[in-house]
Amino acid sequence: MASLETTVGKLRGLGYKATPQRLAVLEALSAEQHQSMEELRGRCPGVGLVTMYRTLDLLCETGLVRRLDLGAGPRYELAEDHHHHMICESCGGVSEFEECPVDTRSLTNMGFEVNAHSLEVYGRCAGCVEGGRR
């Protein structure tokens, strides 16, 4: 849970200006994880669409934000901690889990230099299983 100030500091440190638009996007991102462009736009009235795209691109390139594919268009989230997503195929809900169930040592042993990984788990959430929802 790095504060917004810390994140802005990193941006500045990389030579980027801390514009009101960028602050607004970061603010929007901190409201909720894995939001769509449309949701973020709703939280950033006053920020032009092009700037939204450019800002999110910049934040992704600098590693401050992750672009996700959970099955229905791009989603974005602050890249604060390492976690993964469970997507419920009944209700569409997305939840996160922190415990990383991936072991990439065998890839390293094969000569691949692992920088990052992304894992998505699909199924039915506890609520849908109990409620008998298909």
According to DSSP, the residues that pair with 36 across neighbouring strands are 75
Contact between 104 and a copy of itself by CB under 8 A: the answer reads: yes
Measure Cα distances from 43 to 11, 23, 31, 56 in Å. 21, 12, 9, 14
> In whole angstroms, what is the distance from residue 120 CA to residue 70 CA?
7
Contact between 51 and DNA by CB under 7 A: the answer reads: yes
Contact between 48 and DNA by CB under 7 A: the answer reads: yes
Contact between 50 and DNA by CB under 7 A: the answer reads: yes
> In whole angstroms, what is the distance from residue 64 CA to residue 8 CA?
10
Name the nearest CA neighbour of 116 among 130, 104, 129.
104
Contact between 128 and Zn ion by CB under 5 A: the answer reads: yes
Contact pattern from residue 90 through residue 119 relative to DNA, giving x for each residue in contact according to CB under 7 A and a dash for the rest: ------------------------------
Closer to DNA at the Cβ: 48 or 127? 48
Given candidates 4, 49, 91, 121, which one binds a copy of itself under the rule CB under 8 A? 121
At 48, list the tokens.
């032009």
Given candidates 6, 53, 114, 133, which one binds a copy of itself under the rule CB under 8 A? 114
Q: Are 80 and 56 in contact (CB under 8 A)?
A: no
Q: Are 54 and 25 in contact (CB under 8 A)?
A: no
Contact between 46 and DNA by CB under 7 A: the answer reads: yes
Interface residues toward Zn ion, by CB under 5 A: 88, 90-91, 93, 100, 102, 125, 128
